Amino acid sequence: MKPKAKIYVDGANIFYTQKKFGWNINWKKTKEYLENYKEVVEWKYYVGVKTDDEKMQNYLRYLDVIGFYVFTKPFQKFFI
């Protein structure tokens, strides 16, 4: 029996990390890899979304299709 796991992804951190290092995560392959070692009972992806960002909407639909629960909220920009 495999150990159980829940996966929670912070979309903003993943986006900027990929951008910084020039990566592009293949979520389908990532899921397949992790599910070989763990019984993943939950996949969640959290992200702020800009109004009318069709590219992001397409990306989030893709995540939904491959089994992520997608949680969004309106994008907020903070100034320090």
pLDDT, residue 80, reads 72
Residue ranges of domains in the chain: 4-74
Question: Is 21's pLDDT higher than 90?
Answer: yes
Please give the average per-residue pLDDT across 30-46, as a whole number: 97
pLDDT, residue 39, reads 97
Local structure of 39: helix, strand or coil: strand
Place of tokens 């309106």: 74
Please give the average per-residue pLDDT across 17-37, as a whole number: 95
pLDDT, residue 5, reads 97
Torsion angle of C-alpha atoms 49, 51, 53, 59, degrees rounded to 10: 30
pLDDT, residue 13, reads 94
Cα-based distances in Å from 68 to 29, 59, 79: 13, 11, 31
pLDDT, residue 51, reads 86
Please give the average per-residue pLDDT across 28-37, as a whole number: 96
